[in-house]
Chains A and B, each alone.
Chain A
Amino acid sequence: MVRPMAENSAIAVTTAPGGLSDTQVPSLKGQAAQIRQHLLPWLGPLLLLVAWQLAATFGGLAPHILPAPSRVALAAVKLARTGELMSDLGISLLRAAIGFAIGGAVGFSLGILVGFSRIAETLLDRTVQMLRAIPFLAALPLVIVWLGIGEGAKIFLVALGVSFPIYINTVLGIRQVDPKLLELAQVRGLSPLQTIRRIVLPGALPSVLTGIRYALATAWLALVVAETIAASSGIGFLAMDAREFLRTDVIVLAIVIYAAIGVTADAIARLLERRLLAWHPNYGGEARP
């Protein structure tokens, strides 16, 4: 799509009369370059997809090893028609959202507490750091013993994974607030509550948002594991159920959906950063490449 456009503009320049075309050339060329800049990175994935499709169709790539992209797409359409896809997707998203909300609230509250109070830090931080040293997925068997294989276990696992990155980055954010600005608050006679609202929280926000981005990735990972090991619904269940019947197209579809949601979540987090941290030279819309 890009090349022909550039060539057309070149032709237009040679046939157009006089100086008017001269001013058009750079803008058109610039536009073409911009489009190329946006589209060219997609060339690699696209080629890979085409190669995969060709290998599946003509190259003898067995469908039960890796089904063609077209078959994965077909599986998506079929599952969407029956409503299975949407309901499983909905359940997975709901689990992630609830787990994220609970884990985020716990991590953020603890982070605030420890960030502000040295006593709370002395009492709590060591414990939290030790718990953090446990790979939270290793707790899965224990979680199943405690909560069974119902919704509780999945939500708990997501919440567990989410709370640590949010906690750490909230504490860090609060501790990194410029002490000069805290002196400013003191001199201006701000109450403790005003100081927190006007200075500490906005100052800690970049770090907190970083924590949220990490937590989103962790939440997703936790959900994949929980749903793969024990579930009767959700995207992970879709994949495990398909495994029973060697439906590799559905398995690949589930993987693709997990990936797509992960990318979307990160994009949302980045958008949040851009919107909330517009004042920050490192995050402001234009400053970022």
Chain B
Amino acid sequence: MSGADTRPAVLIEGLARSYGSRTVIRGLHLRMERGEFVALIGESGCGKTTLLRAIAGLDRIDGGRIVTSGRPAVVFQEHRLLPWDSLWRNVALGLPGPNARTLAETALR
């Protein structure tokens, strides 16, 4: 936390995404500052999940750009656990470095 960094956490410009002939998102601009809470509200099928998946980098986008600072952390709607791995290995999944286990166990405590 340097404080000097004023770049937004997420910056979206002119985002477009369509499935076949159906355009779900068009010309979306969004800026999320660091430490800001943003609630996304809308009826079913209006593109909330599409937007989130695009930010997470899980789906391609058809236009515009998404800039995130660092790798965005994503929490899925339902749990996504590796049933063959232990609890701490699930928590530490993708953590680099040798002290991943310590980090995971501290987080679990």
Interface residues of A (CB under 8 A from B): 180-181, 183-190, 194, 198-199, 202-203, 205, 279-280
Contacts and interface: CB of A to CB of B under 8 A. Distances in A.
Given A188-B94, A198-B85, A198-B93, A181 B80 contact: yes
A183 B56 CA distance: 10
Interface string B52-78: 000011100000000000010110100
Nearest to A201: B84
Nearest to A199: B82
Contacts of A205: 84
Contacts of B58: 183, 186-187
B80 A183 contact: yes
A184 B84 contact: no
B80 A189 contact: no
B83 A187 contact: no
B51 to A, nearest CB: 15
B71 A189 contact: yes
Contacts of B73: 187
At the interface, is chain A mostly helix, strand, loop or mixed?
helix
Given A198-B82, A202-B84, A184 B93 contact: yes
Given A185-B93, A190-B94, 14 more contacts: A180-B80, A181-B82, A183-B76, A187-B58, A187-B74, A188-B94, A189-B71, A189-B94, A199-B82, A202-B82, A279-B83, A279-B84, A280-B83, A280-B84
Contacts of A203: 84
Interface residues of B, number: 14
Nearest to A190: B94
B60 to A, nearest CB: 13
A181 B78 CA distance: 11
Contacts of B57: 186-187
Contact of A187 (B56, B84, B85): B56
Nearest to A277: B84
B82 A180 contact: no
Nearest to B53: A183
Contacts of A180: 76, 80
Interface in B75-109: 76, 80, 82-85, 93-94
B82 A188 contact: no
Nearest to A183: B58
A194 B92 CA distance: 13
A96 to B, nearest CB: 30
B93 A188 contact: yes
7 contacts: A181-B82, A183-B80, A184-B76, A185-B93, A186-B56, A199-B82, A279-B83
Nearest to B56: A187
A181 B82 CA distance: 7
B71 A184 contact: no
Top 9 A-B residue pairs of the complex, sorted by shortest distance between their CB atoms: A188-B94, A202-B84, A184-B80, A279-B84, A187-B74, A279-B83, A188-B93, A189-B94, A190-B94
